[in-house]
Amino acid sequence: MTPARLRLAVLVLALLAVLLGWQMHRDRLVQACIENGGLWHGARSECIRPMLQRDYGGLDDATPGGGRRPYAGRAARALACGA
């Protein structure tokens, strides 16, 4: 094996070791996030803490008592978009 090929082989092995190490580190981060009740957002590589959130959309004045329409809010928008 020529010295250039040997250097290339060592470089490729080093890159694989770095990638495997990063994957193991990321798996530990994901597992710790999930165990602590968070949600892992893969695109941003961060742990998100879910918050209670109210959806005030969908209040209807035409409904007696100003009540809530069925399927109002996010669910209705998802159904309307065909999602």
| Tens-digit pLDDT profile for residues 63-74 | 555 555 554 555
Distance, CA of 40 to CA of 61 (rounded, Å): 39
pTM for this model (two decimals):
0.52
Question: Residue 39: what pLDDT?
Answer: 86
**Tens digits of residue pLDDT in 27-71:** 999 999 989 888 888 888 888 887 765 555 555 555 555 555 554
Residue 8 confidence (pLDDT): 97
Residue 71 is predicted with a pLDDT of 47
Task: Please report, for the chain, the start and end positions of each structural domain, with discontinuous segments joined by +.
Answer: 1-50
Q: Whole-angstrom Cα distance, residue 4 to residue 49? A: 49
DSSP-assigned states of every residue in 6-41: HHHHHHHHHHHHHHHHHHHHHHHHHHHHHHTT-EEE
